[in-house]
A and B are shown apart, each in its own frame.
Chain A
Amino acid sequence: MINKKVNSLDEALQGVESGMTLAVGGFGLSGIPENLIQGLVDKKINNLTCISNNAGVDDFGLGLLLQGRQIKKMISSYVGENAEFERQMLSGELEVELIPQGTLATRLMAAGYGMPAIFTPAGVGTEVAEGKEIRKFTFHGIEKEYLLEYAFEPDFAIVKAWKGDTAGNLVYRGATANFNHPAAMCGKITIAEVEELVEIGELDPNQIHTPGVYINRIIQGKKYEKRIENKTVQPKP
């Protein structure tokens, strides 16, 4: 087996440079690559284009890169409650491209499936369709219009999983496969961080979500804050 384990964030992020495009896993703050994001903050590179469903909050997740003005453009479906994001967007410092969530996930996935483009009905008849190629298909017995959307081919993808082995095989926990699995599949180079990095043979081959072939480097995260964005609970009985 090929050993993809790296021991430092520096080593993990080697080759990531200003002006590059990155796909970033996670949904809201759930399952985000906390350590690799901190690594990008410390590396002080800028002019990044980030493909990520969300943009973090002011002081966590991609919000940390926004604070340091390291992001030039965000490609997201929902940017949420982030005052610094809002300020930079309204002042024109930050370019924002909003695309439907399923289109975002599928454009990431498509790259990992070796397909340059997909057709989706999402956005037909809306401003999302402006300037895009439209084709009619009869599918599921219904004739409808579909938009041609291109696969994302980012320079790097950074993702987070629960467990991984040194061959790069990944296992997610709870709802954190979210954009991590599609992002992991699309990077020209994909870097994964995990809460628990184990030796080859310790993961059950039947239980692996992302095969290590998609992963180039894997690192054990130093610490995980795993912040909750919207704690919603029932009172104790």
Chain B
Amino acid sequence: MLDKNGIAKRIAKEVKDGYYVNLGIGIPTLVANYIPENVNVVLQSENGLLGMGPFPIDGEEDPDFINAGKQTITTLPGSVFFDSAMSFGMIRARKINLTILGAMEVSENGDIANWKIPGKMVKGMGGAMDLVASADNIIVAMQHVNKAGESKLLQNCSLPLTGIKCVKKVVTELAVLEILPEGGFKLLERAPGVSVEDIKNATEGKLIIEGEIPEMDI
């Protein structure tokens, strides 16, 4: 079974040389720590930055330099700032190659719910609806089951949706799964020490298992 950093490390393998990537808050942010040095990527922050650098050294933080999570950040050589309308313009224009975000639920047809729990305080969807509606390639980083042990990979999402038919891949503490265009979670890899049976038990949606399922190489 993977921890949060393990999930991030596995997702980092999906990041290819030359990609522009948008990382959501939480586990996706950790992905940046595992992108190999020979893979050149540009991180987008949707408030208006391409080329997000590391967090500043303590004492060098600047209130004008923040990311979409409102964290203080630095720039890199070649970085560029722009306004938020242009930022979502490049997202809608499909210039961002990969979007990695968290989710509360994902369905077998690629629907995602990650912004609202009825009855609880709703903070807002931020840029998530724009990102999932436009990105070509969306990978979800999430826990396979909730705290009550119930599957979060479902036939249909029960929570209000963020977007429909958009998620391409899901990486959890148990497995890597591809969402097929015709529907269904196709099991690609198992986390170390996790059996196909464990994954079956944790997946409510349609699970497709073909042949031997390899263990992740991370």
Contact = CB atoms under 8 A, between A and B. Distances in A.
Interface in A193-232: 209, 226-232
Contacts of B92: 102, 120-122
A148 interface: no
B163 A98 contact: no
A80 interface: yes
B49 A175 contact: yes
Interface stretch (B77-85, B97-105, B204-212): B77-85
Interface string B45-86: 111110000111111111111110111110000000111110
Given A27-B84, A78-B124, A175-B66, A121 B134 contact: yes
A180 to B, nearest CB: 7
Contact of B85 (A30, A140, A182): A182
B35 interface: no
B143 interface: no
A101 B129 CA distance: 8
B64 A179 contact: no
A31 interface: yes
Contacts of B172: none
B125 A100 contact: yes
B126 A105 contact: no
Interface in B90-141: 91-94, 111, 121-130, 133-134
Contacts of A106: 85, 88-89
B87 interface: yes
A68 interface: no
Interface string A94-115: 0000101111011011000000
Given A102-B88, A105-B83, A105-B88, A234 B49 contact: no
B36 interface: no
Interface of B: 45-49, 54-67, 69-73, 81-85, 87-89, 91-94, 111, 121-130, 133-134, 160-165
